């Protein structure tokens, strides 16, 4: 990935990251989950042999969850445990990604009001090359919640990967056009500034700088305390070689930003690559959140485990 593209990855992540500050949970993207190190789920798992290798332990866990699901196909603890275990296996065996799709489809069906499962399903399908299935999963979320930022960002990224920038722009513009109506019907449905940030990013990556600047200026005027559109505008000017104009904006963005973002912003200002995009997402999720599942803040309470569960 080029240096310029890496910088825009940061602003894209930031476009949804600060949602966590107002109590909206941001799930860990599936592609990042495959790269993260950590323990496998807090769901009940089978007894493991002390002499077994980590690979054998994970396979034993997966088989245990599958046995539960043969008896209780809708056991959500087992479904989530199987997803977590298969994600852990996928770090060393990418072919396991395909085995995540079926339990995620079940979880999405059982929890239609929990969009995180559908977003993870879309990301999994995207990983295995099923772009049509991924797009449909994202659109299913947006049909019921047009302002779901995880689904909007996921579908926007998918369209850009397919080299369909006009479709991505149209999606975001349509979301903004309907925002007032949606927010009147249900306040908070569409986070306008976050959608504007995604739109500005798409314009910038297409080198449509004037349109990107116009979007960021509008977002700045709407909320002068939000550092994200200020940072976006600074990056656009930097891309154009207008460093003298960009530097005061980087300074302003750093001053407005929460402490955990200041280092990344300062690195961007000097032209250095920041830490991986995942590092700019607030680590606000409780420790029991598993790497691949929806975070507890957005997930339903687990069902009682079956007495026969392994």
Q: pLDDT tens, 176-221? A: 999 999 999 999 999 999 999 999 999 999 999 999 999 999 999 9
Q: Which residues contact 102 (CB under 8 A, 6 or more apart)?
A: none
What's residue 17's pLDDT?
44
pLDDT band for 291, please (50, 70, 90 cuts).
Answer: very low
Contacts of 98 (CB under 8 A, 6+ apart): 128
Instruction: Average the pLDDT over each of 65-69, 176-180, 234-238, 286-290 and give the range with the smallest value.
Output: 286-290
> What does the pLDDT read at residue 44?
46
Most distant CA pair in the chain, distance? 67
Q: How far apart are CA 41 and CA 289, in angstroms?
A: 8
Confidence of residue 29 (pLDDT cuts 50, 70, 90): very low
Domains within the chain, CATH numbers bracketed:
36-45+53-90+92-144 (1.25.40.10)
Binned at pLDDT 50, 70 and 90, residue 13 comes out as: low
């Amino acid at each position: 990935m080029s240096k310029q593209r890496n910088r825009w990855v940061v602003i894209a992540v930031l476009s949804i990251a600060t949602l966590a500050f107002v109590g909206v949970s941001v799930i860990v993207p599936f592609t990042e989950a495959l790269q993260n190190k950590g323990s496998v789920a807090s769901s009940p798992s089978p007894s493991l042999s002390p002499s077994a290798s980590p690979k054998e332990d994970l396979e034993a866990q997966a088989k245990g969850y599958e046995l539960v699901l043969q008896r209780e196909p809708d056991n959500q603890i087992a479904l989530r445990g199987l997803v977590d275990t298969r994600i852990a296996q996928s770090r060393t065996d990418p072919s396991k990604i395909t085995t995540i799709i079926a339990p995620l489809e079940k979880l999405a069906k059982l929890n239609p009001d929990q969009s995180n499962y559908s977003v993870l399903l879309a990301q999994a399908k995207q990983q295995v090359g099923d772009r049509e299935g991924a797009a449909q999963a994202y659109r299913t979320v947006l049909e019921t919640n047009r302002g779901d930022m995880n689904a909007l960002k996921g579908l926007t990224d998918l369209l850009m990967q397919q080299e369909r920038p006009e479709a991505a722009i149209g999606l975001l513009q349509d979301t903004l056009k309907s925002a007032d109506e949606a927010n009147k019907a249900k306040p908070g449905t569409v986070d306008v500034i976050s959608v504007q940030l995604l739109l500005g990013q798409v314009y910038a990556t297409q080198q449509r700088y004037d349109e990107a600047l116009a979007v960021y200026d509008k977002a700045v005027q709407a909320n002068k305390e939000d550092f994200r559109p200020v940072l976006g505008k600074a990056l656009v000017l930097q891309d154009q070689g207008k460093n003298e104009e960009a530097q005061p904006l980087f300074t302003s963005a750093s001053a407005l930003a929460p402490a955990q973002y200041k280092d990344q912003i300062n690195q961007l200002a000097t032209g250095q690559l920041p830490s991986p995009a995942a590092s700019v997402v607030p680590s606000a999720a409780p420790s029991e959140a598993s790497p691949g599942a929806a975070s507890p803040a957005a997930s339903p309470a687990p069902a009682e485990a079956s007495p026969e569960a392994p």
